[in-house]
Amino acid sequence: MPKQLFYWKTLALNMLFAFQGLFIISTAVDFFLTVLSNSTRSQVLTELSPLASMIIILPWIAGIFILALMLIIFIANTSNKPWIPGVDIEYSGMLLLYLALFFIAIFNPLVIWPVVVNYLAHIIWVCAIMYFRIAVNTA
């Protein structure tokens, strides 16, 4: 691999690492503000039954831990390939989770619009990470 191409690929991998790390931190903060706080964001789950809330909360917790573990594996990976099996499945799961939260927030009259826009931003962010991972892997 030419030295200049190696430089740009290393830069892209470092940017991908930062992108994924910021997403995990943002998702964890979003989780704590939605589930554990008494803020307006926590109004999203008020219209759901306790079982339906748990169907959203448990995969959200698992997704945060799985993505954090995969990010640690990504740091330890020295092959200049961001492709770790299972990460795309987990990002797809987070995409579905944020789509569900987005639609629940839209139809819940207690939720203010900045929360809805936040969920939309997370949807776009997940799509961007998935695209970025594919683009860096094929380069």
Task: Read off the pLDDT of residues 49-83 as tens digits, 9 standing for 90 and up.
Answer: 889 899 999 999 999 999 998 888 878 776 656 56
Give the CA count within 13 Å in the CB-facing half-sphere of 87. 23
CA angle, 22 then 26 then 31, to 5° = 150
Is-contact 94 63, C-beta < 8 A? Answer: yes
Q: Of 110, 101, 96, which is closest to residue 30 (Cα–Cα)?
A: 101
Is-contact 42 35, C-beta < 8 A? Answer: yes
Q: Hey, what amino acid is at 29?
A: V
The pLDDT assigned to 139 comes to: 66
Q: Of 117, 114, 135, 113, which is closest to residue 125 (Cα–Cα)?
A: 117
The pLDDT assigned to 40 comes to: 79
Identify the segments of the chain with pLDDT beneath 50. none
Residues 6 or more apart from 120 whose CB is under 8 A from it?
102
The pLDDT assigned to 90 comes to: 87
| Whole-number Å distance between alpha carbons of 90 and 54 | 18
Q: Whole-number mean pLDDT of the chain?
A: 86
